[in-house]
Amino acid sequence: MLTAVTGRADHVRRNRAVWDRWAAEYAGPGERLWAASDPTWGIWNIAEVQVGVLPADLEGRDSIELGCGTGYVSAWLARRGARPAGLDNSAAQLATARQLQDRFGLRFPLIHASAEQAPLGDACFDLAISEYGASIWCDPYRWIPEAARLLRPGGQLIFLVNSALLMLAVPDADDQPATERLLRPYFGMHRFDWPGDESVEFHLGHGDMIRLLRNCGLEVEDLLELRPGADATTRYPFVTLEWARQWPSEEVWKARKHP
Ligand SMILES: C[S@@+](CC[C@H](N)C(=O)[O-])C[C@H]1O[C@@H](n2cnc3c(N)ncnc32)[C@H](O)[C@@H]1O
C-alpha cells in the first residue's frame, strides 16, 4: 500500500542507495540525450521548440541543476552559453556524468550532495533547474527553500515533475499505467513510499506548491502542462499515450525570485 507520511528524513539515504543501483540503466538514455543537439523534455521527449522550458537568453548565466543525474540538461545549457554546475546525491550517476563529459568534451563542475543541503553559497546562480531530479526525489519543503537560497535576486527556478493529476491515478504496482479513476486523496499529497523498492518520491497539490513557492520568495510565472504528440512514445510503463493525450502527465513550474 502506498502511504503518504510526513516529517521523516530517511529518504535521502534511501534514494541514494536506489539511484546508485539504477545508474547503469540510465547511462544509455543519458548518452543519447547528451548527443541531442536540441533539448527534449520528460518521458515523452517533447521538443524544446514546442514547449519553451528554457529561458531565451542563457549566455553567461550561472546555472545549478539539482539532481542532475547523467547531466544532459546541464550539457544543453552549456551549449547555449550558460555556465552550468550539476549536483546529485548518487555517486554512480555522477560517475556516468563524468564519463559523458569526457566522451563529449564538455566539462562543468559536478557536486556530490543532497539538494536539500547544497554545499554552495547564497545567491550564486541565475537559474536553478531540475528535470525529475530534486523536483520529485527531494522533500519540496526542504529543496525549494534551498533552491531559493542559491538563486540571485531575479533568478529563475524551473522544474519538471509528474503532474499532480497523474499522481492521483497511478496504481501502487510498478508496471501498471495510470487509470481513469482517482486512486488516492489529493488533500495532503506529499510523500510517496513506493512498495516494491526503497525509493521515496514527493508530489504536492497545486495550491500547496504555489503557497510553498511564494513563502520562499518565489513568484510563479508559469505552469506548463505537457501534452505529447499523437505519435510520441515512452519507455516508461506508468502512463499510456492515450491517457497523456487527454490529461497532463507532466508539468513544468517556472518561478522567479523577487528582485
Ligand atoms: C531521473 S534522474 C533525473 C536526472 C536527469 N534529468 C536524468 O534523467 O538523468 C533523478 C536523479 O535525482 C537524484 N537525486 C535523488 N535524490 C536526490 C537528492 N536528495 N539530492 C540531489 N539529487 C538527488 C538521483 O540520484 C538521480 O540522479
Q: State yes or no: pLDDT of 195 exceeds 60.
A: yes
Distance between Cα 231 and ligand 1 center (Å): 28
Q: Distance (Å, rounded) from C-alpha 30 to C-alpha 12?
A: 22
Per-residue pLDDT, 2:
35
DSSP 110-150: EEES-TTS-SS-TT-EEEEEEESSHHHHS-HHHHHHHHHHH
pLDDT at 75: 98
* The three cell numbers locating residue 231: 505519435
Is residue 136 over pLDDT 60? yes
Beta partners for 219?
256
Work out the end-to-end distance of the chain between its first and last CA atoms, rounded to an integer number of angstroms. 44
Q: Give ligand 1 pocket residues (Cβ under 6 A).
A: 12, 15, 19, 26, 30, 67-70, 73, 87-90, 93, 114-116, 131-134, 137-138
State pLDDT tens for residues 106-123: 999 999 999 999 999 999
pLDDT computed for residue 4 by the predictor: 37
| Three-state secondary-structure class, residue 222 | strand
pLDDT tens by residue, 25-78:
999 999 999 999 899 999 999 999 999 999 999 999 999 999 999 999 999 999
Greatest distance between any 2 Cα atoms in the chain: 47
Kindly tell me if the per-residue pLDDT of 7 is higher than 70: no
Torsion 69-224-163-204 (CA) sign: positive
- Mean residue pLDDT of the chain comes to 95
Cell triple for residue 160? Answer: 519538471
pLDDT tops 80 at residue 13: yes
pLDDT reported for residue 54:
98
Q: From ligand 1's centre to the CA of 255, what distance in Å? A: 20
Whose grid coordinates read 505519435?
A: 231
Q: Of 237, 249, 225, whose CA–CA distance to 50 is shortest?
A: 225
Q: Is 82 exposed, middle or buried (0-12, 13-18, 19+ CB in 10 A)?
A: buried
Residue with grid cell 488533500, as numbered in its chain:
187
Looking at residue 5, its pLDDT comes to: 39
Ligand 1 centroid, distance to 58 Cα (angstroms): 23
Nearest to 130 by CA among 159, 108, 151, 163: 159
Kindly report the protein residue whose alpha carbon is nearest to atom 7 of ligand 1: 69
The pLDDT tens digits of the residues spanning 73-100 come to 999 999 999 999 999 999 999 999 999 9
